[in-house]
Structure 1
């Protein structure tokens, strides 16, 4: 088996002072190229902190984070800036307007990272067209301002903006939670197609509180609770035969998955186990 693209090993993160709050607690997770890993948990469970730590926007208190075998926790100064500019890890926000400049065309926003990297104009234009095509956005839409696109189109443009840098790891934070059902389905199908097209080179970490959306997209599912991964495995197995009480509660809240959830009495018992 190939080495993991992302290897998070025993990572803890403490935020604040006197006393600090431990947000991640000796968390470990691996992602390989061609794999979509879904990370699910309620608000405050540590999902976004993990993403920010992988991006080096937050520093781990302990543990190791390796991207393609390189320990990124050890990077600082010029080496850290060079690693970020190389674009090996790209982040897609829940709100695409956080990454798309509302005052310039979608085409310009998608190509901004290439312009900063001083990629020649002809090559930049080619890569922007390719990335927009990969997410199913017609060329005519690329000359519009982001505000003139639908929510789903904007999110696909934000994904194209990440893809144009040829990342090895794509981190998507609640990529479909703000979309209507039709747009959500289109974005999920886009991500599945990207996984299949770039299986040899691209891995994805998709963060969500919605286990239903992740069930339709991810190859493996990791469940995070109070800063710890409490269950991880093939998505079908985790959804159909959850082992941890917290996972069972999450699944019980999503009847569309088609799993018979616990009744009220059993849910109360599960909560008691979780908080014990």
Structure 2
């Protein structure tokens, strides 16, 4: 059984007439697996993550996490499910999850306090999460503004990990970082996958197929709200089937179609829209 099982999910947003942002999206994710979702702005990536969190209404399809139908959750049942922390979200900007006026360690502990986890257990989980992301406990005693961007992102990941989630959703986790910090976060996520392979799955959203190629086991390519390609990362990168996937790869010389010139990219774009 998959950890995450999405079947034919559609999402309509906006005012009447509604705009279909996701159109019959289906994907599977197993524990121990990192699935990368790539696409340009407006492709539906973040809406997909928000539908999993039940932050946007799902118009059609089924959504199961660990075999549980979460699309059907309502009211107090939905709030209780969220408090359980089985699904955790890591924002692109860690300051959205780390209060700038609160010490990092206290932000990391917030979900545990809400869940009424005993103090001794909170201390143990926080220490373990900081080790997992490679963040010095001394740094965790500071305010977020005193940490680098990469350190803040690792703190945001630790904040999610203390809840012992089954599914980690990461929205553009490295796009705002410099090259060195980006590489460090990617290595951290790979280490987390390997250390928690029996329990944890990750869905990583990005417009950067290069970063996802280094991190993900499988790639899902979204274009205008629909999945146009889904397969093992090496296969998708080496033998992309859809023109849109080829265009994304052409934009990253380090992973393929190296040096694709403007004419080639224009031809790919024309093929996509044909």
Same fold (TM over 0.5): yes
Counterpart for residue 226 of structure 2? 228
Contact 1:248 1:261 in 2 (8 A): no
Residues 78-121 of structure 1, C-alpha deviation per residue, up to 9 Å, x if partnerless? 11011000001000000000001111111111010001111111
1:123, 1:13 → 2: CA distance? 39
Count matched residues.
Answer: 274
1:181 Cα deviation after fit: 0.4
Counterpart for residue 138 of structure 2? 140
Counterpart for residue 239 of structure 1? 237
Q: 1:70 to 1:236 in 2, by over 3 A?
A: same
Counterpart for residue 153 of structure 2? 155
1:220, 1:102 → 2: CA distance? 35
Counterpart for residue 92 of structure 1? 90
- Tell me which moved more, 260-269 or 107-116: 260-269
Residues 19-74 of structure 1, C-alpha deviation per residue, up to 9 Å, x if partnerless? 11000000111110000000000000000000000000001100011000111110
1:264, 1:151 → 2: CA distance? 33
Counterpart for residue 27 of structure 1? 25
Structure 1 residues 112-151: aligned runs within 5 Å: 112-151=110-149
Residues 156-213 of structure 1, C-alpha deviation per residue, up to 9 Å, x if partnerless? 0000000000000000000000000000000000000000000000000000000000
Counterpart for residue 203 of structure 1? 201
2:173, 2:85 → 1: CA distance? 19
Contact 2:53 2:87 in 1 (8 A): yes
Counterpart for residue 39 of structure 1? 37
Among candidates 247, 271, 274, match of residue 272 of structure 2? 274
Superposition RMSD in Å: 1.0
TM-score by length of 1: 0.97
Structure 1 alignment gaps of length 5 or more: none
Counterpart for residue 210 of structure 2? 212
Stretches (4+) displaced over 4 A:
none
Contact 1:41 1:47 in 2 (8 A): yes
- Tell me which moved more, 155-164 or 12-21: 12-21
2:196, 2:56 → 1: CA distance? 28
Contact 1:37 1:205 in 2 (8 A): yes
2:104, 2:257 → 1: CA distance? 41
